[in-house]
Every structure is written in structure tokens, then in C-alpha cells.
Amino acid sequence: MKTTVGGLFTGVAAAALALLTSVLLIPAPVAAASTVECRAYPSIPVALEAGAPKSFQVWGELCARAADLVDGQTVQLLLHGAYYSHSYWNPDYDNGSYSYARSMAAKGIPTFAIDRIGQGQSSRPPSVDLSVQDDALVVHQIVRALKSGSIGETAFGPVIGVGHSVGSIVAWQEAVTYRDLAGVIITGMLHVVPLHTGVLTAGTNFRPAFLDPQFRDANLDAGYLTTAGGSRAQLFYNPGDAGSGIVAWDEAHKDATPMAEFAGAFTYATTDLTRAIEVPVLIIQGQNDFLLCGTGAADCSSAAAVHALEAAYYSPQAGLQAVVVPGSGHNVALSENRGMAEEASASWSRASVR
């Protein structure tokens, strides 16, 4: 039986009801809890090819309450989108009230947010050397590190991959190739090729990062791109939903992304690769996502509409569920209704992943 309730759609009515009950009790977004501590791991060794020396480093940040750092604990591995770093998940803005990482940790689910390879404070190999598949291999090594106890002195149990935008595509690829994720949460990514005018002209908002003053001293090759100044409000936010402060913070903390990986990510828009995912999947989608929704793109008006679009791309084993966050643009974690996304994520993680 298919049920549509409170912004959630799933083929399993009982699961929907359980998640709805939690979502209806959503508190206002909370500041970083005093019991949550975040610790940086600045140089996790990784390789770009299977069997090759681990000559590159990934930067990561573990946020957790001390009581939750026990062997076997579920952890969320957070994968940011293009032109971002780990700070998307843990912005140093407004006393932590926009921090998905801290919010999850305060709810008892530790998070590990990385700078994906080639971005943030992680190693930046030549841009042509990076693809979604390479990124997935690196993420696989991080999953193994979390499970082995080399991060946080805790041998974590189930690892849930949580992606945003291109980070969601990396989560897809990792889940299919390595099958070591216990669940996948997708935000800011659907199987759609948007054809409306806004998206078709959005390419003018990207440029070589070395031409941007923010990256002038970063020694990046011409294949690393970033966003043009002042473009992020249109690309990543719904104007009626985003506060000017968080948008200004976003502009000041933008990052650079390898063009080869970014271009390759578009090939996943219509792929049925995701049908090979055999673990639970939750989609959390912004209702007013400029890049994915609206005329000429996906119908994001309701959870039922998103589920109807995406169901054919997932196997029955995925038990696909969907949540639509009212008013949110592409950046669900930085939207005004982010508390809804956080509560849905936590409730689903507890109920669906073992």
C-alpha cells in the first residue's frame, strides 16, 4: 500500500507512520549542543587507485557526544556537493544553528564530514585525475577507516552515506561498487535532466578557480572550477527561504571542484546504476530546488511526486522513502526548514539501518 502523509512518501505504510510521528514533533533548529564535540582528522591517508600507495590525504571532522563513541555505533559519513567543503555540514555561523553535523550528533548519531578528495583541505591532485569513481574509491577507504577504529578510537558499526548534490552521486557509486554502506541518504540529487532556461544558462556562473581572488594562492590547475561571485543565492537557495546571513557566509566559504568530476557527474542523471543499491535509501529533497525542480525539470511539489519519479531507479530492497522540505532550495541543510530534514534523517536512520 502506498501512503502519502506529512511530506513523506513510502511504499511501506508502517515505516511512513513512524517517520511522520517524529517529523511532526520537530523542534526549532538547535544550536550546537554543549555535549557535542567536533574533532578534526587532517591527514587520513588514501590512494586514488586500488592497491596503489596511500600518497594522498583526506581531511575529516568527527562530531559526537562522548557517550556515543562506542564500538558498533552507527555513524553518518557526510559527503558535500560541488563547490563546497565539509563546512556545508557544519557552518561556523549563527552559533552552530545551521550545523547538520552537530544536530545529528546531539540526537545520538555521530557524523564524520570529509572534504572530498580535490576539495577543501584534502589533497588536490591534478584535476584530470579525479572522477566520481575515484572519489567513490576514496570514500570506500574512509568507510573502512571508520569501521576499523582508526577514527575516533571507535570501531563504528553501520555507516550511512549522506550526500548532497554531487556528493549524493558519489554515495550512489560507492554503495554500488563496494557495498559497505548500511544505508544511503540522498539530498539535492534526482534522476532528472533539467531543461528550463535558468539551468540552461547557469553554466555562465562557473569559472576557473585560479582566476578568483579567493583561490589566487591555492596553486590550482585550470581544471578546477568555482562559482562566480554573487551567484550562489540563485543556484543553491530559494530567495524566499534563505536568510541573507547564511548566503553571505556561503559566498565567503565557497570551494573549488575538479571539472572532470563535475562534468562526469551529469552522466548519472538518467542512469539506472542505482537499481543495484540493496540497502535502505531515503531522499530528502528541497521543494524549490532551482537546479532540479519546476517546469522542465522534476515535480518536487510533494513527497509522493518525488517518490513517483525516483521509484523506478531503485530496487525493492532499497525500500525507498522520500521527504520534501517545504520552501527549501538546493541546500536543504542550510534552509529555513532544515530542522525537518534533520529530524527525518535521524528518525529514518534509527528505524531503517541496523
- Domains in the chain (CATH in brackets) are 36-352 (3.40.50.1820)
- What does DSSP assign to residue 298? B
Residue type, 235: L
pTM of this prediction? 0.91
Are the C-beta atoms of 65 and 109 separated by less than 8 Å? no
pLDDT tens string for the chain (354 positions)? 333 333 566 554 334 434 433 343 344 444 444 599 999 999 999 999 999 999 999 999 999 999 999 999 999 999 999 999 999 999 999 999 999 999 999 999 999 999 999 999 999 999 999 999 999 999 999 999 999 999 989 999 999 999 999 999 999 999 999 999 999 999 999 999 887 666 666 778 999 999 999 999 999 999 999 999 999 999 999 998 988 899 999 999 999 999 999 989 989 988 899 999 999 999 999 999 999 999 889 999 999 999 999 999 999 999 999 999 999 999 999 999 999 999 999 999 999 998
Residue type, 192: V
Q: Which residue has the cell 535532466?
A: 193
Are the C-beta atoms of 325 and 241 separated by less than 8 Å? no
Of residues 270, 37, 261, 312, the one with CA closest to residue 139: 261
